[in-house]
Amino acid sequence: MALEAGLIAVGAGIAVGLAGLGAGLAEKDVGAAAVGAMAENEKLFGKGLVLMVIPETIVIFGLVMAILLWLKMV
């Protein structure tokens, strides 16, 4: 059981960690472009924010997977 629990914990960590990396990679490009656009026209803040947070759903998926895994453990 201890080994199994440990493996589940590692799996949960990988799920949320890699998802976070993925989201970060996607967001860095969007964010940089959004800041650039905002420097030109401040009115684009709203649109920039929306575009910026779209990839962030990825990490939520990872988190949900991690939570589901964690529920199996406890």
The site for other proteins (CB under 8 A) is made up of 45-47, 49-50, 53-54, 56-57, 60-61, 63-64, 67, 71
| Structure tokens that stand for 71 in this block | 């529920």
Q: Cβ of residue 35: shortest distance to other proteins, in angstroms?
A: 16
Cβ 61 to other proteins, closest distance in Å? Answer: 6
Q: Which residues, 6 or more positions from 19, have their beta carbon under 8 angstroms from its beta carbon?
A: 58, 59, 61, 62, 63, 65
Residue 56 half-sphere exposure, CB side, CA atoms within 13 Å?
9
Shortest distance, position 68 Cβ to other proteins, whole Å: 8
